[in-house]
Amino acid sequence: MTRPLVVGNWKMHGLSAQLADIEALGVSMTDRPAKADVLICPPFTLIERAARIAGSFVAIGAQNCHHETSGTWTGEISARMLKDSGASAVIVGHSERRQHQGESSERVAAKANAAVAAGLLAIICIGETQAERAGGGALDACAAQLSLSVPKGIAASAFAIGYEPLWAIGSGQVPTAAQITEMHGHIRQCLVARLGASGNAVRIVYGGSVKPANARSILALSDVGGVLVGGASLKPDEFEAIVRAAAP
């Protein structure tokens, strides 16, 4: 079994004082064998300092990157810059960027390509809206996003999929176990159809109102290879409890 991936997405939160939370998590993970891959994605301003203090069992990632390696892109950050700052992964295609920045799946694929070229793990996010779920089109919507967002020729080891139903993010709502299992199984089928047997090695992480109270049950579901944590990742005790649920 591939080790579960636990990702903390801090979004637009975090100042220098919160670096102590990352350092403390790194220390707490040293008292036992690492059974999960733990990744924290703070804002750009903290990446370099976080990478220096995180320790051996906590990796640092980013929440976005540009699809070009360099150029006249004021305010943007390239994947190579992230790698140079100490990041080992980057989230691309998060639903908030698709919704508020109008990012297309084709642009997400370009960013994923740039991330892989820079030596970063690309965490490619997909997910359906409430209307798509209610209308019975959730599986088709996610399959379409997956088809366009995963770059052609990418190696299975170079990326993970983040499934985040938009209606569950920050809402407190969580899909049923049956809904998560169905969607993750469908994503797995799409990956295998695309990549062959190596598609079985791609981790599919679930994101959407993940908390200590539900993390263990979600992680136990078929084809769930980790969790993408939003609000709870900003609360050190809650995030550590989720990490320990992934690595009992």
pLDDT tens-digit map of 159-190: 999 999 998 887 778 899 999 999 999 999 99
Average pLDDT over residues 90-110: 97
Average confidence score pLDDT of the chain: 95
**In the chain, how many domains are there?**
1
Average pLDDT over residues 219-241: 97
Average pLDDT over residues 107-119: 98
- The band of 33, judged by pLDDT with boundaries at 50, 70 and 90, is low
* Residue 105 near residue 142 (C-beta atoms within 8 A): no
Which pLDDT value is given to residue 135?
96
Catalytic-labelled residue, pool 94, 96, 184, 186 = 94
Catalytic-labelled residue, pool 103, 128, 132, 164 = 164
Segment holding 39, helix H or strand E: strand 37-41
Q: Is the pLDDT of residue 35 over 60?
A: yes
Q: Is the pLDDT of residue 1 over 60?
A: no
CA 76 vs. chain centroid, Å, equals 20
Average pLDDT over residues 33-47: 92
Residue 189, class by beta-carbon neighbours within 10 Å (0-12 exposed, 13-18 middle, 19+ buried)? middle
- What proportion of the chain, given as a percentage, has pLDDT over 70? 98
Q: Which domain holds residue 98?
A: 5-246
Enumerate the H helices of the chain as residue ranges. Answer: 19-28, 47-53, 79-85, 95-100, 105-117, 130-134, 138-149, 177-195, 212-219, 236-246
Average pLDDT over residues 6-29: 96
Average pLDDT over residues 16-41: 89
Residue 110: which of 142, 86, 76 has the closest Cα?
A: 76
| Residue 91, helix vs strand vs coil | strand
Q: Is the pLDDT of residue 248 over 90?
A: no
Q: Is the pLDDT of residue 38 over 70?
A: yes
pTM > 0.75: yes or no: yes
Q: Annotated catalytic, 67?
A: no
Q: What is the CATH number of the domain that holds 152?
A: 3.20.20.70
The rounded distance, in Å, linking the Cα atoms of 146 and 121 is 17
Q: Is the pLDDT of residue 34 over 80?
A: no
Which pLDDT value is given to residue 119?
98
Q: Annotated catalytic, 94?
A: yes
